[in-house]
Amino acid sequence: MQILFADKFPAKQLQQLQASGYATIFQPDLQAADLPANIAGNDVLVVRSTKVDKETIQAANNLKLIIRAGAGTNTIDKAFAAEQGITVCNVPGKNSVAVAELTLGLLLSIDRNIPDNVRELRDGQWNKKRYSSAQGLMGRTIGIIGAGSIGMAVAERARAFGLSVLMINKPGRSQAILDRMKSLGISTVESIDILVAESDIVSVHVPATDSTRNLINAELLSKMRDGAILLNTSRGDVVDEQALLDAMDSKSIRAGLDVYPNEPGQAACEFDCQLAKHPNVYGTHHIGASTEQAQSAVADGVLEVVKAFENGTKLNCVN
């Protein structure tokens, strides 16, 4: 079985695959536009953020399995892959801690204006008067949208900072999740409207689907408190870009973002994004899962998917 890695992948797990007899082609610098010319002859394609579109799938003459080394699969044409008999699998839950850590990092950065502090010091400016004003986190309320592994990891860390945590009372949650929510002292409300209205901070942790596209829209933003904080480390399409721009101007909402609509498909390039440029935004470069701890855990998950597939099991199939 020949596996093409079109994104970064830890050397340790790559060597484990090779030792198990798999042929591996490691081309981490491939871009989406390069894939059609490089996919032929491969049985498995492993990607992180690189887009896998219809053209790539059509160019594949032996492809049986696409693995998203992570959770979100919105960059892969899953429907067309299914039409061609190609299985798409992901590796969910392995990067939860890394994303949660960045989420709290963005929150702290906003509350204490850390990036602006750093910039002025580097510019040779001392401005203690400006930066001595911060509300702090203890005693405030964070509303978390999404009670998956990342949402729960954020809740755990938020409680450690003395934040009260709200989640939506959603039917059908497993007893394990309910027990975990109870142990963390998480309160629930009956709707997303109530959650955003009662929160000082709103943190979004949902997948990109048709039902979540523009979930954070003008109507919902209008219910947020003036000066509230919005955190999005999930997917850019979850937030209506223009609605958030308007809300930041009219309600002084501040935002910590790791994801954006229409993100580039390549690792380094120019990026003209009005959200990223807005003075109320502290943003990062979609790096939520980019820690060594997370990537090692995800890589172990990729190995599990490959070996299960070879033995006739489709682990974490999403199409």
Q: Residue 117 has what pLDDT?
A: 97
Domains located in the chain, CATH noted = 2-94+292-310 (3.40.50.720), 96-283 (3.40.50.720)
Side-chain half-sphere CA neighbours of 222 within 13 A: 3
Decide if 310 contacts 114 (C-beta within 8 A): no
Place of tokens 């109530």: 194
Decide if 189 contacts 166 (C-beta within 8 A): yes
Order of all β-strands in the sheet with 281-283 = 187-189, 164-168, 141-145, 201-204, 229-232, 254-257, 281-283
Q: Residue 238 has what pLDDT?
A: 97
- Whether the pLDDT of residue 267 is over 90: the answer is no
Order of all β-strands in the sheet with 2-5 = 23-26, 2-5, 44-47, 65-68, 87-90
pLDDT digits (tens, 9 = 90+) for 58-108: 999 999 999 999 988 989 999 999 999 999 999 998 999 999 999 999 999
Question: What is the rounded average pLDDT of the residues 243-250?
Answer: 98
| 130 φ/ψ angles, rounded to the nearest 5 degrees | -65, -45
- Whether the pLDDT of residue 168 is over 90: the answer is yes
Q: Model-level pTM?
A: 0.87
Q: How far apart are CA 9 and CA 260, in angstroms?
A: 24
- Whether the pLDDT of residue 115 is over 90: the answer is yes
Active site residues: 235, 263, 286
Q: What percent of the chain has pLDDT over 70?
A: 100
Place of tokens 């994004």: 273
